Amino acid sequence: MNEQERLKQIKEDYFERGEVKTLNFDYLIQQAEEKQELEEHKKRTEKILNEIIEERDKVLDYNEGLARRIDELKQQNERYQEALKFYGAEHNYDEYTIGSTTIKSSNVMEDEGEKARQALQNK
C-alpha cells in the first residue's frame, strides 16, 4: 500500500469507526516528525541559499568595479603610449648647423612637456 492509500485508509477508519490503530497512530507521528525535519531542513537550505546569493552579488559588484578600473587603466595606458610616441619620434627632433654652431630644435621643446602633463592628468 502506498502513502496516499495508507492515509486514505487511516481517514476512513477514523471517520467511519472513530478509531486509529496503534500502528497507524505511530505512522502518523512518524509522518509529522519527518515533515517537521523537512521544514527545518528547508529553512536551513533557504538561509544558505540567501547567503550564497548575497556573496554572489558582492562578487558581481566587485567584478564590475574591477572592469571599470581595467578600462580606466587601458585608457591611461593609451594616453601614456601616445605621449611616449610623441617624445620618442625622431622626426620631432631636428638639428640645424649654422656655421660652427649646431642648433637643436624640436617639437618636443616647443611642446614644453604639455603632452606629458595632459597624459598624467587623465585628460
25-77 pLDDT per residue, tens: 899 999 999 999 999 999 999 999 999 999 999 999 999 999 999 999 999 99
94-110 pLDDT per residue, tens: 776 777 777 767 777 77
Q: Where are the alpha helices (DSSP H) in the chain?
A: 3-12, 22-88, 107-111, 114-120
Q: In 3D, which of 2, 51, 52 has the Cα closest to residue 27? A: 2
